[in-house]
């Protein structure tokens, strides 16, 4: 079963208070490696854009007025995520909006059995600390320079990197201060600022491991 990393942007914090979805993004992966298939839509909410929401994502009412409404893109979205594991950071927020929009169209809610909340995964791994997407990116040394505003597609890309690190149980720092060899190496290179990238070869070697971890923990 393939996975989908999903994120939304909205006009506010609650569908029940009249707020709407303005952006949906999904990135499909197989064993957490992108397949190249992406779903990304900007959506006309047919309502005003609160200044607080505009500050978050930068989408104005004027900018969105010529975009498709949710009813037009709903079936394409549902077909994209059908029969896939759906990974969302703080899933209740996004699902609340998606269920609300789908309910207006008399369509079924999102299948909770297919959803993995990466925020809950992070809370179990790092209890008592901030586990926002920004905080986790910083914890795992993932580049945030492009994230000047919230953007659903970019956030899906960042979430995939975060989730790989969560499943690999990679700790961001190790204390090697008492290791003589480490002290010698640190004289020539500042490893505290090194961003560790996963090579294609390493990813391939971990595919079976990742698949077994997904099955063991979430399937």
Q: Is the pLDDT of residue 194 over 80?
A: no
User: Could you tell me the pTM of the whole model?
Assistant: 0.76
Active site residue 89: no
Q: Which CATH fold would you assign to the domain 3-171?
A: Nucleotidyltransferase; domain 5 (3.30.420)
**Ranges of each domain in the chain:** 3-171
Per-residue pLDDT band at 45 (split at 50, 70, 90)? very high
**Higher per-residue pLDDT: 9 or 208:** 9
Condensed to tens digits (0 to 9), the pLDDT of residues 46-66 reads 999 999 999 999 999 999 999
* Cβ atoms < 10 Å from Cβ of 1: 11
Active-site residue (options: 19, 89, 150, 206): 150
The pLDDT of residue 202 is 60
Which whole-number Å values give the CA distances from 215 to 23, 85, 119, 150, 208, in the listed order?
30, 11, 19, 31, 11
List, in sequence order, the alpha helices (H) in the chain.
51-57, 61-64, 70-81, 91-104, 118-125, 133-139, 152-168, 180-186, 200-218
């Amino acid at each position: 079963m393939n996975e989908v990393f999903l994120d939304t942007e909205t006009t506010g914090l609650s569908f029940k208070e009249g707020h709407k979805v303005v952006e949906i993004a999904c990135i499909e992966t197989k064993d957490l490696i992108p397949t190249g298939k992406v779903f990304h839509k900007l959506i006309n909410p047919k309502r005003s854009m609160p200044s607080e929401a505009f500050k978050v994502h930068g989408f104005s009412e004027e900018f969105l007025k010529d975009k498709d409404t949710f009813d037009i893109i709903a079936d394409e979205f549902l077909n994209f995520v059908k029969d896939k594991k759906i990974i969302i950071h703080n899933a209740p927020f996004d699902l609340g909006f998606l269920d609300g929009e789908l309910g207006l169209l008399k369509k079924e809610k999102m299948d909770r059995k297919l959803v993995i909340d990466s925020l809950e995964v992070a809370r179990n791994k790092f209890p008592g600390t901030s586990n926002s997407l920004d905080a986790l990116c910083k914890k795992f040394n993932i580049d945030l320079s492009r994230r000047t505003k919230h953007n659903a597609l970019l956030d899906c890309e960042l979430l995939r990197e975060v989730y790989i690190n969560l499943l690999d149980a990679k700790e961001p720092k190790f204390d090697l201060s008492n290791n003589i060899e480490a002290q010698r190496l640190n004289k020539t290179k500042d490893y505290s600022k090194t961003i560790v990238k996963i090579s294609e070869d390493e990813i391939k070697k971990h595919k079976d491991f990742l698949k077994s971890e997904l099955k063991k923990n979430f399937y």
